[in-house]
Amino acid sequence: MTQSDTRFVDFIGDIHGAIGRFRSLMHDLGYRECGGRWTHPEGRGVVFLGDYIDRGPDSFAVYRTVRKMVEDGIAVALMGNHELNAIAFSTRANDGTLDAHQAHTAGCEAIRTGRPSNGWQRKHEFTASRNGRHSLINIQHHRATLVSTSANEYAEMVDWFIRLPLWLELPDFRAVHAAWVSSAVEVLRTWSREHRRRNPGLDATMSSDKGVGPATFTAALEECQRRSQIKPELRHTQAMLLLLDTDQIQPSSRYAKAVEVLLKGPELALSKPLPDPEGTERKQFRVRWFDAFVGQSVREYWMGPAHHLEFEPSDPRRAIVEQVPSEHQVDKLPADVRAGYRFDERAVFFGHYGLRAKENPRLGNNWACLDYSAFHPNGALAAYRFDRALHSAAANEPTANALLCGTNMMSSSWLEREHAEHGRPVDTEPHLRSDRRIPSYAEFTITLLNCESDVLQAEGATRALVLANIDRDTAAALGIPRVWPDQTPAFLDAAFLDIAVIEAIQARPSLRQPTEETADFATQLTTTRAIELRKQYGLPVPMA
Give the tens place of pLDDT for each residue, 127-144.
544 444 445 566 777 888
Residues 326, 305 contacting (CB under 8 angstroms): no
407 vs 447 pLDDT, higher one: 407
> At residue 401, what are phi and psi to the nearest 5 degrees?
-105, 0
Q: Are 67 and 229 in contact (CB under 8 A)?
A: no
Position 81 pLDDT exceeds 90: yes
Dihedral (Cα; 462, 464, 466, 470), 10-degree rounding: 180
pTM score: 0.74
Residue pLDDT, tens place only, 405-439: 777 878 776 666 555 443 332 223 323 333 444 56
Phi, psi angle pair for 132, to nearest 5°: 80, -5
Measured at the CA of 296, the angle between CA 292 and CA 299, to 5 degrees, comes to 115
Give the type of residue at 540. P
Q: For residue range 14-70, list pLDDT tens digits in order.
A: 999 988 899 999 999 999 998 889 999 999 999 999 999 998 888 999 999 999 999
Give the CA distances from residue 375 to residues 323, 357, 358, 410, in Å, rounded to whole numbers and listed in that order.
Answer: 32, 11, 15, 16
For the chain, the structural domain boundaries read 1-106+151-244+347-424, 441-536
**Banded pLDDT at 280 (limits 50, 70, 90):** low
Contact in structure between 51 and 351 (CB atoms under 8 Å) = yes
Helical axes 454-478 vs 527-536, angle rounded to 10°:
160
Pick the range with the lowest mean pLDDT from 250-259, 313-322, 427-436.
427-436
Burial class (CB in 10 A: 0-12, 13-18, 19+), 380: buried
Report yes or no: 274 and 285 within 8 Å, Cβ to Cβ: yes
CATH architecture of 1-106+151-244+347-424: 4-Layer Sandwich (3.60)
Helix H or strand E encompassing 445:
helix 441-450
